Amino acid sequence: MLPRSICFAACGLLLMVTVPAPAAPAAAQQSVLVVSSDNLSYPFIGQLFGAFKTTLQSDNGAPVHVYAESLDLSTFGTPAQQAAAARWYDSKYREVPLDVVVVIGHAALRFWIDAGFRPGVPVYFAAASASAMAGMPLPPRVTGQRLHINLAQTVRLARQLFPDTTTIALVGNAAERDSYRPFKAPELQALAGEASFIDLRGKAYEQVLARVAHLPPHTVIYHTTLTDDGSGRVFEPRTALTETARVANRPTLIDNGSQLGSGALGGLVTDPVHEGSEAARRVVQLLRGAAPASLPTLDNSNLPRFDWRAMQRWQLAESRLPRGSELQFYQPSAWQQYRLQILLTVAVLALLSLLTVALLIERRRRAAAVAQSRQRLAELAHMNRNATASVFSAAIAHELNQPLAAILSNAETAELLLEQPMPPLTELREILADIRRDDARASELIVRMRTLLKPSAADSRLADINELIRQSLTFIAGEARLRGAALSTSMAPAPAWVLVDPVQIQQVIINLVINSLDAVAALAPAARRIVVASAVQDDAQVEVSVRDTGPGFASADIERVFDSFFTTKPQGMGLGLSITAAIVAGHGGTIHAENQRGGGARVRFSLPLRKAP
């Protein structure tokens, strides 16, 4: 059993381990009261307050509760109204713990100090007019940021932007109503050597608009701020500036950064976002225990900022802006935004243009080559027709001899009949008819010969392929009879219309028949047979074939029969079938050579069908 003293010690140690230690008290949330001289809806004050809150929450680390009040002293600034407001705020925030009070504007600072609220709470002021604070005693618990607005700087900026400037037109509240820009007579007189002034401050609003619309040349407008025109009417500053800049015939300078984008050119402006962020950073130091006296009073920096759109309106070159100027509402040109894309597009278009020109040139060259090729083909075809005519010249002479001999016989018979005392007129009329018939037959043969041998360019027209076959066979029938070969046909039952040069297609048929006549020359006369046939296929083309009973093509030569200068004949030049193939191809057709199963060769060609005329 353990001694009692050890048991008590063990129990004490157990209690120390198991009983939780009391939690540390949570840090109290800090509070900041923001008091503005004028309504927080005013653009400058609103932007300053927004930047202040954002920076305060992000830089402090811990959440800060922000109270906001607007005194509206420009509207409710009489002593009685201020005394009533002091009692109200003292009652409202009597029980609220405040760590720092932030006042916006010198009027709110004076109100807070004079009321004596929370004497122990640090006070930080922002956007307070330096000229209005001159001579104002500040308690040790007060520090902040002052605004300096310098008329001389704006006058010199106007002369830098527009070197011919001689006059400055002042638009805004009356001097006694603008504690930020009092610009009294002595200050204007001091700048008389640099510019003269047209003072429109405090004038009736309609009068101001009429005046700025007809300002003399070499004038620049300096629009301060316009909240009332001295007649008791109240205006929203940005709206008044927008209308003034719209009707003005001269450029407008401003000093309030929140008013950029309202039509004014710009100027040396106070940036409310910068002022609010800087105030928040210094208030964070106060919340962390820094003494106000350790934070010296700051003066604002006026920044050169300009509206790019207004620069275009007044044709102000960017080179005239002060160094370090900031452009807002910049709208780059299409060239500046898409320079690379434009260059690539132009390069592609240039390349396409060059390719198009090259293709047009090539097309023209090809058309010339095709025309030249057709001319050469026509010349070769003419030579081929001449050679063909020489081949069956004996047949032509035989064909001519027949009608000429008949004419001679009929003429001699007529002479004998005329010697009779009473010539038989009926017989003489029959003799004359026979002479006329035989003369037409000879004339037709000569015309066909001339048509075939006459050189001509291609002349395409609609023709019946069956009729072309008949005319061709009539022409070569005499040669076939001399060679002892039998010519026969197997025609399509209906006309088959093709768009061709009839003379050239007749030449194709004659060439194929002559090749068949040569092929069957070694056979016995009874075996020399040639068939020319036509047939319509699929209502799209007509096929013409020439079959013979000859030995056929050698298997090694069948693929080359249409090549130029290829021939199996001892006296041949190898141009007949190559010219034939070229003529068919020129008419959009195809040609093939093959051996028949029962012996002999067949050459067939097809042409596109056309509608009947």
User: If DSSP codes are grouped into helix, strand and coil, which group holds residue 48?
Assistant: helix
- Average pLDDT of the chain, as a whole number: 85
The yes/no answer on whether domain 392-455 falls in CATH 1.10.287 is: yes
Confidence class for position 471, pLDDT limits 50, 70, 90: confident
* Residues making up the chain, counted from first to last: 613
Burial (CB < 10 A; 0-12, 13-18, 19+), residue 530, is: buried
Question: What's the rounded mean pLDDT across residues 166-191?
Answer: 92
62's tokens:
């811990």
Domain layout of the chain by residue ranges: 30-147, 151-269+301-331, 336-367, 392-455, 458-613
31's tokens:
């509070």
Residue spans of beta strands (DSSP E) within 455-579: 461-464, 486-490, 497-500, 529-537, 541-548
Report strand pairing: 123-129 vs 142-147: parallel
Confidence class for position 569, pLDDT limits 50, 70, 90: low
Tell me which CATH code domain 151-269+301-331 carries: 3.40.50.2300
Predicted local distance difference test score (pLDDT) of residue 58: 92
Tell me which CATH code domain 30-147 carries: 3.40.50.2300
- The owner of tokens 């001289």 is 37
Of residues 544, 510, 550, 511, the one with CA closest to residue 530: 550
Same fold, 30-147 and 392-455: no
Report strand pairing: 497-500 vs 461-464: antiparallel
Architecture of domain 458-613 in CATH?
Answer: 2-Layer Sandwich (3.30)
Confidence class for position 414, pLDDT limits 50, 70, 90: confident
- The owner of tokens 């040790």 is 140
Contact at 8 Å (CB) between 184 and 116? no
Confidence class for position 416, pLDDT limits 50, 70, 90: confident
Confidence class for position 27, pLDDT limits 50, 70, 90: low
Question: What's the rounded mean pLDDT across residues 352-361?
Answer: 93
DSSP result, 464-494: EHHHHHHHHHHHHHHHHHHTT-EEEEE--SS
Contact at 8 Å (CB) between 35 and 101? yes
Which range, of 26-30, 272-276, 336-340, averages the lowest pLDDT?
Answer: 26-30
Predicted local distance difference test score (pLDDT) of residue 24: 43
Specify the pTM.
0.57
pLDDT > 80? residue 406: no
Confidence class for position 391, pLDDT limits 50, 70, 90: low
